[in-house]
Amino acid sequence: MTKAELVKELRTRTQASMSECIKALDASENDIEKAIVWLRENGAIKAANKLKNAATDGVTLAKKVGNKAILIEVNCQTDFVAKNENFLAYANQILEEALAKVESKEDFDKLIINGKPIAESGLDLTAYIGEKIVFRRGEILKANDQQTLGVYTHNNNRVAAIILVDGKVEDEVVRNVAMHAAAMRPRYLNEQVVDQVWLAKEREIIVNQLEHEGKPAAFAAKIIEGRLNKILKENCLVDQSYFKQPELTIEKYLKNNNAVAVGYYSYEVGEGIEKAPQMSFADEVAAQMKK
């Protein structure tokens, strides 16, 4: 086997990073079995350093049990590891622990996973896999006897959403809204909870656009109001057109089912984290060989 083929096989068997596989093979005279031992012996020492890396990939998961819905994001560094069964088992373990023990957003930081605080719980997996593994964030919604929870996780685990409505409705109804929310990613539930700082920035952008467009000052106020209203409708869940029935807004769809949206969260993997440019497998091998 060529060195590149050995690296690929070792990475597949251990889920270790490209650079660690190359180092392990170099230290083991290209013997894969010895390289696996080397990775296990050296992984724990280097795991702490891995925590300094940016983890921009991973999964988002949502689930409801009883009157509680949980949404979490767990990060790693590559989509390769995001599909690894050990990583997925760890993420699902956090999800189940949260469903059992979290009662408020603050409780996520208090979770104990495998005998360790959640902030440290990914260290062993980091040592084994060779990538930074970390719980990033979580949200919770709780329903009373007159409310219904909806959850949706896309099949690639990259977007997920949870929603709470006033009214007892069929699971399909709230799941449809959660699916819509995961797909469309509105910033806010409704206009009442819109961040006024964000809205002011949007207004400033519109004003600058009008100056560049040379619009008459007499019409500026009406144009600004119209564009702001459009932005609000695009960014508020209840005002968006329901993707399965575009003639209805989400608010109207829920109203037709005797429900009103009162809570909502959605996550997309890695949002808000600066991502480094990605290389192909071949380019990554070539870059490592030059070191």
pLDDT at 37 (0 to 100): 85
Domain match, 244 and 129 both: yes
What's the structural domain count of the chain? 3
Q: Euclidean distance between the first and final Cα of the chain, in Å?
A: 21
Retrieve residue 277's tokens.
């440019």
pLDDT in tens, 12-44: 887 677 887 898 899 999 999 998 888 877 764
pLDDT at 51 (0 to 100): 57
Domain match, 184 and 207 both: no
Cα distance between residue 161 and residue 183, in whole Å: 9
Domain match, 26 and 102 both: no
CATH code (residue 11): 1.10.8.10
pLDDT at 45 (0 to 100): 45
* H runs (alpha helix) in the chain: 3-14, 18-27, 32-50, 79-82, 85-101, 123-129, 171-184, 196-213, 217-235, 250-256, 281-289
Domain match, 84 and 186 both: yes
pLDDT in tens, 266-290: 999 999 887 655 555 556 555 545 5
| Contact call for residues 75 and 56 (beta carbons, < 8 A) | yes
Q: What type of residue is 44?
A: A
In terms of pTM, does the model score above 0.85?
A: no
Q: What type of residue is 257?
A: N
* Residue span of the structural domain in which 203 resides: 196-234
pLDDT at 182 (0 to 100): 96
pLDDT at 187 (0 to 100): 95
Domain match, 30 and 17 both: yes
Domain match, 183 and 78 both: yes
pLDDT at 282 (0 to 100): 59
Q: Strand ranges (DSSP E) for the chain? A: 57-65, 68-76, 112-113, 116-117, 134-142, 147-153, 159-166, 260-268
DSSP annotation of 43 reads H
Q: What is the torsion angle, in degrees rounded to the nearest 10, for the CA atoms of residue 88, residue 74, residue 62 and residue 82? A: -40
pLDDT at 44 (0 to 100): 45
Domain match, 101 and 223 both: no
pLDDT at 181 (0 to 100): 97
Domain match, 180 and 207 both: no
Domain match, 28 and 65 both: no
Domain match, 17 and 66 both: no
Domain match, 74 and 184 both: yes
Low-confidence ranges of the chain (pLDDT < 70): 15, 43-52, 217-218, 275-291
